[in-house]
């Protein structure tokens, strides 16, 4: 059996090696390292794929979030509601911009931000809600957008984990994740569903005015050449990364299908096992399985992780500590009791290997070892 990886980027590369090598060498030969033709081509190819008016590439997914917030003309102290159960980048950028993060609890089944918790947290100072489409499945966008509209609040989707997935509204309209809120953001970190070979990110919007602002912010706040209209940053996607992403974007749907097939294999096995809860599927969302995360009650998941590692099976705890209890983000306004779901999820979740190259032998091996451990513990 081939060695199991959490994410097998090497095997994936081997399959597209000749195409990737040629594209990367072409960029080097052209010396158009920054804002070269591949960046522009990738931008427009991603716009068509997502069916969104504007894609603005940038340096990484964290920058994408920060720039999205910078484009919304917020004032220090304005409130941004987001999930307690996510990667730190989402809340970090809120703090960096002197905005007030308002972390809220999540839904115990989908792990996505809880609509009731958002509703309870809204105040006259709430300006933005950032739903994170966690582990590859869209949050309850229809309800979140309706609530936000009612209160005149912006919705910025953190779509770092769910690119290529989609969401269907009750009127039958289907939209790609990241294109439903006023702004969407993503990351092309190598292990993400659409990953490059270094760092990268992008921002999406259908709003022309906001797109102009974002293009200026990523380029030092410049409008006309050497006229600086606002504070900006330097955040660019390299041409080499764009060249890789163009090749991988053409394969994204195939990659998603492979992840979904692996998830299906896990689901069939683990739904038969007592005490194990397989990922809950929102019927409106098409889950693209950035992570395959089980909930297992009444056991120390770190011991399970160790056991699996000893058997050559990588496994990760995403996320082991709620954000509201992190030293960087804890605040007097947070009461631990308000985060009952996140607190308990952090003690139950374990993410299994999930990528485009898992074969049946590996999947069976992972399933059998996890079952064996559960029967003995």
Give me the residues that bind ligand PLP (CB under 6 A), please: 60-62, 86-87, 89-90, 132, 158, 160-161, 187, 189, 199, 201
Find the helix or strand (DSSP H, E) in which 102 lies: strand 100-104
Nearer to ligand PLP, 112 or 282 (CB): 112
Nearer to ligand PLP, 90 or 278 (CB): 90
Rounded to a whole number of angstroms, the minimum distance from the CB of residue 225 to ligand PLP is: 29
Contact assessment for residue 175 and residue 181, using Cβ atoms and an 8 Å cutoff: no
Residue number with the smallest Cβ distance to ligand PLP: 61
What are φ and ψ of residue 57, in 5° steps?
-70, 150
| Residue with Cβ nearer ligand PLP (176 or 265) | 176
How far is residue 334 from each of residues 103, 129, 311, 331, measured CA to CA in Å? Answer: 8, 17, 40, 6
Is the Cβ of residue 38 or residue 158 nearer to ligand PLP in the bound state?
Answer: 158
Judged by beta carbon, residue 238 or residue 265, the one nearer ligand PLP is 238
Distance between first and last Cα of the chain: 27
Shortest distance in whole angstroms from residue 132 CB to ligand PLP: 5
- The C-alpha angle with vertex 234 and arms to 230 and 237, in degrees rounded to 5, equals 130
Q: How far is the CB of 274 from ligand PLP (least distance, A)?
A: 31
CB-side exposure of 344: number of CA atoms within 13 Å? Answer: 14
Q: Which is nearer to ligand PLP, 294 or 323 (CB)?
A: 323
In the bound state with ligand PLP, the residue whose beta carbon lies nearer, of 90 and 305, is 90
Element at 253 (helix H, strand E): helix 252-270
DSSP state, 234? B
Under 8 Å between Cβ of 57 and 42: yes
Nearest to 12 by CA among 189, 263, 190, 164: 190
CB of 189 to ligand PLP, least distance (A): 4
Rounded to a whole number of angstroms, the minimum distance from the CB of residue 271 to ligand PLP is: 26
Closest CA to 86 of 324, 351, 362, 297: 324
* Shortest Å, Cβ 173 to ligand PLP: 25
Rounded to a whole number of angstroms, the minimum distance from the CB of residue 333 to ligand PLP is 23
3-class SS of residue 374: helix
Pairing of strands 276-277, 126-130: unpaired
């Amino acid at each position: 059996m081939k060695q199991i990886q959490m994410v097998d980027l090497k095997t994936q590369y081997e399959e597209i090696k000749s195409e990737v090598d040629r594209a990367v060498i072409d960029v080097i030969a052209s010396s158009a390292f920054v804002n070269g033709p591949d960046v522009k081509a990738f931008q427009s190819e991603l716009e068509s794929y997502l069916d969104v008016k504007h894609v603005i590439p940038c340096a990484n997914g964290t920058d994408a979030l920060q720039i999205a917030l910078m484009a919304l003309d917020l004032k220090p102290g304005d409130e941004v509601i987001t999930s307690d159960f996510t990667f730190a980048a989402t809340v970090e950028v809120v703090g960096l911009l002197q905005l007030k993060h308002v972390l809220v609890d999540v839904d115990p089944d989908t792990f996505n931000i809880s609509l009731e918790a958002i509703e309870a947290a809204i105040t006259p100072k709430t300006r933005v809600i950032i739903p994170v489409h966690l582990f590859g499945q869209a949050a309850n966008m229809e309800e979140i957008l309706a609530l936000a509209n009612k209160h005149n609040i912006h919705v910025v989707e953190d779509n770092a984990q769910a690119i290529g997935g989609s969401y269907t509204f009750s009127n039958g309209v289907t939209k790609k994740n990241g294109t439903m809120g006023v702004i969407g953001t993503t990351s092309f970190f190598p292990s993400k569903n659409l990953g490059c070979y270094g760092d990268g990110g992008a921002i999406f919007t259908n709003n022309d005015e906001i797109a102009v602002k974002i293009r200026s912010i990523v380029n030092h706040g410049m409008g006309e050449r050497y006229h600086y209209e606002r504070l900006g940053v330097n955040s660019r996607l390299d041409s080499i990364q764009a060249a890789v992403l163009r090749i991988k974007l053409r394969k994204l749907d195939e990659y998603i299908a492979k992840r979904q097939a692996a998830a299906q294999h896990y689901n069939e096995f683990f739904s038969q096992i007592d005490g194990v809860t397989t990922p809950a599927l929102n019927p409106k969302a098409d889950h693209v399985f950035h992570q395959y995360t089980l909930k297992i009650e009444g056991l120390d998941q770190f011991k399970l992780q160790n056991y699996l590692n000893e058997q050559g099976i990588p496994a990760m705890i995403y996320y082991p500590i709620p954000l509201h209890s992190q030293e960087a983000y804890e605040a007097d306004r947070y009461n631990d009791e308000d985060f009952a779901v996140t607190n308990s999820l952090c003690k139950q979740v374990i993410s299994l290997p999930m990528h485009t190259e898992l074969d049946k032998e590996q999947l069976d091996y992972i399933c059998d070892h996890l079952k064996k451990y559960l029967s003995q513990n």
